[in-house]
């Protein structure tokens, strides 16, 4: 079917060409997925990175995977196979420890001194040379979610139908050139399936650097800030929501006039660099900000939870109630939402007349359509001029609003406001809207 992995990558790139407009990051699964990913990244003129993932094999049959582990502590298990194999918890822990040590060694070998690419809010194209059981790819998808990827597209040359179907529920999209029930072994679909070496992975990453801007250290992911990393006036908090406690960051300037609670978008977290940038702008304008995780890491791994707007709105409301008991609780309160978080913000505002302003950046207000007519808080919708689909959805949603509202279009901006100066414009619009509407009532 394919001459070699490079040939497979070139053919895969043809199918993925429309993604170039989303400015994705291409991530190859080492080692065999990297030569495929290299050709995809080259065709899309996208950054190329790797993701450390290791299979957890049955001791007496290593090719049979009990599950897989990935960077940042991610582990995915096939519980049924674990039970059938008779592997004890202690034995499984030893297997994981051994594989994690190898995973860390390889990641250090592949990347060297370079940090991983910042995936926050980005479209990530995850590439491997084929899909058999899918355990490794599933762990990788879970890892990318935790690292803040906005959209995950899994792309492979060949795969088994059941695995493709299963992973279609995990990734936002699966692109597989050849789906075959009689897959048997991935190597059978290649004329040349020679093992990819560490040296080849390092060389391909080095070559890809020629078309990739210098990467900066990431500010996204589940790793907590270390001592002394917090900006002045910021403190880490825990927001109780039913049986779970959600981590958050509450930052209050010296002369504070209002509190803005953030609702991040799908696949993101309280550590989103874009939301934190907006929070910095609001903080300089005298507004306190609360950024918190709407979902636990386990919940976020289930894609259905990311789009469960009623549940997200309920949690946002719970954060509002929690804030009432904080020193900032008496301040006028507004919501800032991005993507699906904007739908949650509008839904929650419809149920809480004390919310005095809402700002949506690149939001999906259509997901809260049935509640828009009940929103009383003045609402600002900010959309990129080149985000055609979302712009149309916002225009339709604006017609459903009966409260004071405005739609501002940032020229030249796409969905993530990655273009130079566009996020600054969006942050300034949000700042001005909140400053106008979050005012302490006169006595």
Summarised one tens digit per residue, pLDDT across range 305-334 is 777 899 999 999 999 999 888 877 788 999
CATH homologous superfamily of 234-437:
Alpha/Beta hydrolase fold, catalytic domain (3.40.50.1820)
Task: List Cβ neighbours of 376 (8 Å cut-off, separation of 6 or more).
Answer: 349, 350, 353, 403
Q: Please check the confidence at residue 200 and state whether its pLDDT lies above 50.
A: yes
Q: Please check the confidence at residue 226 and state whether its pLDDT lies above 50.
A: no
Per-residue model confidence (pLDDT) at position 94: 85
> Which among 408, 361, 387 is positioned nearest to 22, based on CA atoms?
387
Per-residue model confidence (pLDDT) at position 230: 44
User: What rounded mean pLDDT belongs to the chain?
Assistant: 85
More confident: 257 or 304: 257
CA–CA dist 265, 364 (Å, integer): 9
Q: Please check the confidence at residue 416 and state whether its pLDDT lies above 50.
A: yes
- The lowest-confidence range among 109-123, 169-183, 206-220 is 206-220
> For 147-164, what is the mean pLDDT?
90
CA–CA dist 193, 260 (Å, integer): 54
Count CB-CB contacts under 10 A for residue 229: 8
> Which among 120, 65, 58 is positioned nearest to 87, based on CA atoms?
58
Question: How many Å separate Cα 367 from the centre of its chain?
Answer: 19
Per-residue model confidence (pLDDT) at position 216: 41
Residues comprising the chain, all counted: 443
Summarised one tens digit per residue, pLDDT across range 377-387 is 999 999 999 88
For residue 166, give the 3-state DSSP assignment: helix
Contact between 164 and 158 under an 8 Å Cβ cutoff? The reply is: no
Residue 78, token pair as written in the block: 């096939």
Same fold, 5-211 and 234-437: yes
Per-residue model confidence (pLDDT) at position 7: 95
Per-residue model confidence (pLDDT) at position 213: 57
Per-residue model confidence (pLDDT) at position 54: 83
For residue 411, give the 3-state DSSP assignment: coil
Summarised one tens digit per residue, pLDDT across range 272-288 is 778 888 999 999 999 99
Strands 244-251 and 234-241: antiparallel
CA separation, residue 158 to residues 19, 72, 167, 187, 216 (Å): 19, 28, 13, 10, 34
Summarised one tens digit per residue, pLDDT across range 85-124 is 788 878 888 888 888 888 888 888 887 766 678 787 889 9
| Exposure string for 270-279, b = 16+ CB within 10 A, e = fewer | bbbbbbbbbb
Q: Please check the confidence at residue 83 and state whether its pLDDT lies above 70.
A: yes
Binned at pLDDT 50, 70 and 90, residue 417 comes out as confident
> For 430-434, what is the mean pLDDT?
95
The domain made up of 5-211 is a member of CATH 3.90.1150.10? no
Where do the structural domains in the chain lie, given as residue ranges? 5-211, 234-437
CA–CA dist 139, 301 (Å, integer): 10
3-state helix, strand, coil split of the chain in percent (to 5) is 45, 25, 35
Q: Please check the confidence at residue 192 and state whether its pLDDT lies above 90.
A: yes
> For 12-36, what is the mean pLDDT?
93
Binned at pLDDT 50, 70 and 90, residue 219 comes out as very low
More confident: 157 or 339: 157
> Which among 393, 360, 364 is positioned nearest to 379, based on CA atoms?
360
More confident: 246 or 232: 246
Q: Please check the confidence at residue 32 and state whether its pLDDT lies above 50.
A: yes
CA–CA dist 260, 304 (Å, integer): 27
């Amino acid at each position: 079917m394919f001459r070699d992995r490079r040939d497979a990558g070139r053919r895969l790139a043809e199918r993925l060409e429309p993604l170039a407009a989303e400015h994705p990051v291409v991530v190859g699964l080492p080692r065999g997925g990297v030569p495929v990913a290299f050709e995809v990244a080259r065709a899309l003129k996208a950054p190329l990175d790797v993701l450390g993932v290791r299979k957890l094999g049955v001791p007496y049959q290593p090719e049979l995977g009990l599950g897989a582990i990935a960077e940042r502590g991610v582990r995915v298990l096939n519980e049924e196979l674990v039970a059938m194999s008779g592997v004890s918890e202690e034995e499984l822990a030893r297997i994981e420890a051994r594989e994690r040590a190898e995973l860390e060694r390889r990641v250090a070998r592949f990347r060297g001194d370079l940090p991983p690419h910042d995936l926050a809010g980005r479209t990530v194209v995850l590439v491997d040379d084929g899909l058999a059981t899918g355990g490794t790819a599933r762990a990788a998808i879970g890892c990318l979610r935790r690292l803040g990827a906005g959209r995950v597209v899994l792309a492979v040359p060949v795969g088994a139908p059941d695995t493709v179907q299963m992973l279609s529920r995990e990734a936002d999209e699966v692109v597989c050139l050849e789906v075959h029930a009689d897959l048997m072994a991935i190597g059978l679909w290649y004329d040349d399936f020679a093992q990819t070496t560490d040296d080849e992975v390092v060389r391909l990453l080095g070559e890809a650097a020629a078309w990739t801007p210098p990467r900066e250290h990431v500010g996204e992911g589940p790793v907590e800030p270390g001592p002394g990393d917090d900006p002045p006036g910021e403190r880490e908090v825990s927001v109780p929501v039913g049986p779970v406690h959600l981590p958050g960051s509450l930052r209050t300037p010296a002369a504070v006039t209002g509190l803005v609670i953030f609702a991040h978008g799908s696949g993101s977290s309280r550590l989103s660099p874009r939301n934190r940038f907006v929070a910095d702008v609001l903080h300089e304008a005298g507004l306190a900000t609360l950024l918190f995780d709407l979902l636990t890491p386990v919940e976020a791994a289930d894609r259905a939870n990311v789009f469960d707007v009623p549940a997200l709105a309920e949690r946002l409301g719970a954060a509002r109630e929690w804030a009432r008991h904080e020193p900032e609780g008496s301040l006028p309160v507004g919501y800032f939402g991005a993507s699906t978080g904007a739908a949650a913000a509008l839904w929650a505002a419809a149920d809480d007349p004390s919310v005095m302003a809402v700002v949506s950046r690149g939001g999906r207000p259509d997901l809260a359509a049935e509640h828009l007519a009940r929103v009383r808080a003045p609402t600002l919708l900010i959309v990129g001029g080149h985000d055609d689909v979302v712009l149309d959805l916002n225009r339709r949603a604006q017609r459903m609003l009966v409260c004071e509202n405005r739609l501002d279009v940032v020229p030249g901006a796409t969905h993530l406001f990655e273009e130079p100066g566009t996020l600054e414009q969006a942050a300034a619009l949000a700042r001005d809207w909140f400053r106008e509407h979050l005012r302490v009532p006169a006595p």
